[in-house]
A and B are shown apart, each in its own frame.
Chain A
Amino acid sequence: MLRFILSRIGMAVPTVLLVAVVVFFLIRLVPGDPAALLLGDMASPESVAALRSDLGLDKNILTQFAIWLTNVFQGDLGTSITTKEPVAHLVIERFKVSAGIVLVAVALASLAAVPAGFIAALRQNSKLDLTLVSIAALLLSIPTFWLGLVILLIFGLKLGWLPVVGYVSVAEDPSRGLLYVLMPILTLFLHEIGVLLRMARASALEVLRLDYITHARAKGLPERTVLWRHVFPNAFAPTLTLIGLVLGNMLGGIAVVETVFTIPGLGRLLVDAIFGRDYPVIQGCLLFIAVIYVLVNLIVDLCYPLFDPRVKIT
């Protein structure tokens, strides 16, 4: 087990390194100069040049990369060009905000979508199935920014139940904090339900068609046992992979939802950094996101044997 974990982490190192290289050079290929952006339209070339040299941007790009990578290995992600804050601190603080919302939304969506998907599969082609599949397709097709704005319009404006803008940390003031994250959670929940329900339904249908299910039924096992012992565990495995992917994806920032609901999360940090060409923050965010992705998928892989005994971790 430990060896598996260590070897997986070992395998992730080249991935993360590759991300580091690509991110570093790609963002510098994009036109736009952080110093010029910081100083604005009326900056003189001298002041731009002075700021560039201050920021170390006048150095050879390979030298810049070497400096950055050395610092990263020492645990220093640098400081933000725009706010002068340490990037590691920024990323962690913003991640905590996004992660709380995403974890709750994905957990709720999984709890709702997986059983619903299985039920739809069992009642394939029934009215219930059709209804569930249609709802899933609809939710899946609605872009999150629009869904978010509609939810904001209904609960914030028309009903006036929830505050439209602002953010209070749940850790600081649980009851008020909750008010501010309800709408973003609902938005993500609705969106992810669509994805997960379809996956759960499709996997269950596939398993239901397999020979061993027919065999289990033929040997006279009660339907309950067939479902619980044979269908669900086998059908859940692919959905689990998808949950892992969704989680990895969303933990990397839910920029759109964060922007609509003014949540100071990781996604907004990254988007703002890209617009401001804040290289250290972009690099730090993306590196962090890559690591999170690897970790989430590792955890999912470790959970696999719980549902699918065919998978053994050695």
Chain B
Amino acid sequence: MNRRQRLAASAAALALTLTCGPAAAETLKIALNADIRSLDPGVNRDANSDAVVLHMVEGLVAYSEDASVKPLLAKEVAVSDDDLTYTFTLRDGVKFHNGNVLTAADVVWNWSRYMDEATKWRCRNDFAEGGAAHVISVTAPDDQTVVFKLEKPNALFQATLARTDCGMTGILDKSSFNADGSFNVPVGTGPFRYKEWRKGEFIDLEAFADYAVRSEEKRDGYTGAKRPLVEAVRFAVIPDRSSAKAALLNGDIDIVPDVPYADVEEFKQNADTAVSLATNPGIVALLLQTRDPLLKDMRIRKAIAMALDTKTMVEGITLGLGKANNSLIPPTSQYHSAAQAQGYSYDPEAAKALLQEAGYNGQPIKLIANTRYSNTYDAAIVAQAMLQQVGITAELEVLEWAAQLDRYQSSNYTAMVFPYSGRYDPALTMDSVMGNKDKEPRKVWDDPDAQAMLADAVRYSDPAKRQELFDKLHARFLETVPFIMLYNGLEASAYQKHVQNYAASIFSMPRAWEVTIAE
């Protein structure tokens, strides 16, 4: 090849890469707004890590679309009458990515690894001694059966196993680990298997041909049908939102799981892209310091609740895409009853009267917000204006997220708009905000009576009984205003129209199974 030919060849190669793009058509390319932390399920993780890892590993049970818990690796789960023994029957012929067949012994082995302190599993404390769901023994009477015994009844045992931040308590093959026992790469039973992780750039997965498909016809949250229908998946790390948008419009990326609300209309109008919306159980709340000299007066907190027109506020900040919800239970939950739909009554005049009665005369209230989660910042701005209307002076203090989290953890604030990540069972959501402030300063609802009701909601698994408790708790929440619940997280995912059957979900994490790419 002489020089001219070489030049022509490289020019041709250049043109080829320009027209075809970097990867084959059968690779589904999903944007991630930050790199993942690790591939170890439930260990050193964040939401992006969970999203990627849960394509490769699966647990015994998983959350379905309505946040109830259903079997995944298990065929069925039997619970004893005393609610202390859970018997999981495994599905036949489930294979790990290296071809090994899943057995009950694998589950027992994984459980002992998770419960080993050295593993640093995020959820160990929940199942260890003193934890809410203390597991006293796990045994494998035969190859297909695993028996978990609890110390005391706990309605949330399966819901905790299935938690995405626990890595779904995913079952790994022993080849996932190095000779010294340290974690290497996940060899699980999921629809996709690990191929490559280039830090700061991308994570590549490939379809697992021998994936043991469940009998359900439809995708159902993290269980149900989970066939890998594309050859490969690439999670590309794109930290800048404008760049992610440009990449989607350009065709370099197939799916951007989280686009700004302001872009939704544009993606809907565009002939090549579509949008999928889903409300998640994450809550965005206006936290009030009930130990503040001013805000410890319930009348002032009530006045704040009455001053906020949360319906208008949420419509404004989500550009009409989201709805206000004053209940800790999201509208997608089976427990969101008519009682839960009750909210604060917007009444500026009553708020003014109440403030006067409480002797409030314009003392400033510092309201903390951050710009990392821009919608929560918008909520703070709107709240400030609405409070102004009734004569409450709210001073905005904008902090960087890490600094705000610090103030939240140490309870060092008067008021702040705070986004909580999602928990799928209402009792888990409530547990994250309720508790004794002396013991756990970050807790925002410190009420012994409510705490007792929550304990019952954790104790009983009967849905009717739980519904009654949740409704009572909600009434108390509205009456005592420990803080103000504004709305649930709302995720807008944009994708290329040639991507078929993609949908955003309550999990706010992209799912590549059951998704195809049209020619």
A interface list, Cβ under 8 A from B: 30-33, 36-42, 44-48, 54, 82-85, 90, 94, 149, 152-153, 156-157, 160-168, 175-176, 179, 259-262, 264, 268-269, 272, 275-277
Given contacts A36-B409, A165-B244, 7 further A-B contacts (CB under 8 A): A32-B403, A36-B406, A38-B46, A82-B44, A94-B200, A264-B237, A268-B200
Q: Are A46 and B125 in contact (CB under 8 A)?
A: yes
Confirm or deny: B129 has a beta carbon within 8 angstroms of a beta carbon on chain A: no
What are 13 A-B pairs at a CB distance below 8 A? A32-B403, A40-B165, A42-B432, A44-B440, A45-B442, A48-B409, A83-B199, A84-B38, A160-B250, A163-B252, A175-B13, A262-B201, A262-B238
User: Which of B14-22, B68-76, B349-357 lies at the interface?
Assistant: B14-22
Shortest beta-carbon distance from A258 to chain B in Å: 9
Q: Are B247 and A164 in contact (CB under 8 A)?
A: yes
- In the complex where A42-B420, A165-B236 touch, is A83 in contact with B37 (Cβ < 8 A)? yes
Shortest beta-carbon distance from B355 to chain A in Å: 31
Shortest beta-carbon distance from A29 to chain B in Å: 11
**B-chain residues with CB within 8 Å of residue A42 when the two chains form the complex:** 420-421, 423, 432
Q: Are A32 and B402 in contact (CB under 8 A)?
A: yes
Shortest beta-carbon distance from A287 to chain B in Å: 20
Q: Across chains A and B, which 5 residue pairs bring their CB atoms closest together, nearest first?
A: A32-B402, A264-B200, A165-B247, A31-B403, A164-B247
Q: Are A269 and B200 in contact (CB under 8 A)?
A: yes
**A-chain residues with CB within 8 Å of residue B198 when the two chains form the complex:** 264
Chain A residue at minimum C-beta to C-beta distance from B420: A41
We find that the number of chain B residues with CB closer than 8 angstroms to chain A is 57
Shortest beta-carbon distance from A162 to chain B in Å: 8
CA distance A197 to B442 in the complex (A): 55
Q: Are B22 and A166 in contact (CB under 8 A)?
A: yes
Q: Are A163 and B21 in contact (CB under 8 A)?
A: yes
- In the complex where A48-B409, A164-B252, A179-B18 touch, is A262 in contact with B237 (Cβ < 8 A)? yes
Q: Are A32 and B246 in contact (CB under 8 A)?
A: no
Q: Are A275 and B250 in contact (CB under 8 A)?
A: no
Partner of B405, one of A36, A45, A260: A36
Q: Are A179 and B199 in contact (CB under 8 A)?
A: no
Confirm or deny: B80 has a beta carbon within 8 angstroms of a beta carbon on chain A: no
Q: Are B405 and A262 in contact (CB under 8 A)?
A: no
Q: Are B407 and A165 in contact (CB under 8 A)?
A: no
**B-chain residues with CB within 8 Å of residue A47 when the two chains form the complex:** 122, 125
Q: Are A264 and B403 in contact (CB under 8 A)?
A: no
- In the complex where A32-B406, A84-B38, A275-B402 touch, is A38 in contact with B44 (Cβ < 8 A)? yes
**A-chain residues with CB within 8 Å of residue B247 when the two chains form the complex:** 164-165
- In the complex where A40-B421, A175-B14 touch, is A264 in contact with B199 (Cβ < 8 A)? yes
- In the complex where A33-B406, A175-B14 touch, is A260 in contact with B242 (Cβ < 8 A)? yes
Q: Are B199 and A275 in contact (CB under 8 A)?
A: no
Q: Are A37 and B405 in contact (CB under 8 A)?
A: yes
Q: Are B440 and A157 in contact (CB under 8 A)?
A: no
Q: Are A260 and B243 in contact (CB under 8 A)?
A: yes
Partner of A175, one of B10, B401, B418: B10
CA distance A87 to B425 in the complex (A): 39
Shortest beta-carbon distance from A250 to chain B in Å: 19
**B-chain residues with CB within 8 Å of residue A175 when the two chains form the complex:** 10, 13-14, 17
CA distance A48 to B17 in the complex (A): 47
Partner of A149, one of B37, B238, B242, B418: B242
- In the complex where A84-B44, A163-B21, A165-B244 touch, is A31 in contact with B237 (Cβ < 8 A)? no
Q: Are A165 and B252 in contact (CB under 8 A)?
A: yes
Q: Are B199 and A165 in contact (CB under 8 A)?
A: no
- In the complex where A37-B402, A275-B402 touch, is A264 in contact with B201 (Cβ < 8 A)? yes
Shortest beta-carbon distance from A133 to chain B in Å: 31
Chain B residue at minimum C-beta to C-beta distance from A85: B199
Confirm or deny: B462 has a beta carbon within 8 angstroms of a beta carbon on chain A: no
**A-chain residues with CB within 8 Å of residue B423 when the two chains form the complex:** 42
Chain B residue at minimum C-beta to C-beta distance from A256: B240
B370-405 at interface with A (beta carbon < 8 Å) = 372, 399-403, 405
**A-chain residues with CB within 8 Å of residue B77 when the two chains form the complex:** none
- In the complex where A33-B409, A84-B44, A175-B13 touch, is A164 in contact with B420 (Cβ < 8 A)? no
Confirm or deny: B34 has a beta carbon within 8 angstroms of a beta carbon on chain A: yes
Partner of B246, one of A40, A46, A152, A167: A152
CA distance A186 to B37 in the complex (A): 32
CA distance A27 to B200 in the complex (A): 23
CA distance A90 to B198 in the complex (A): 12
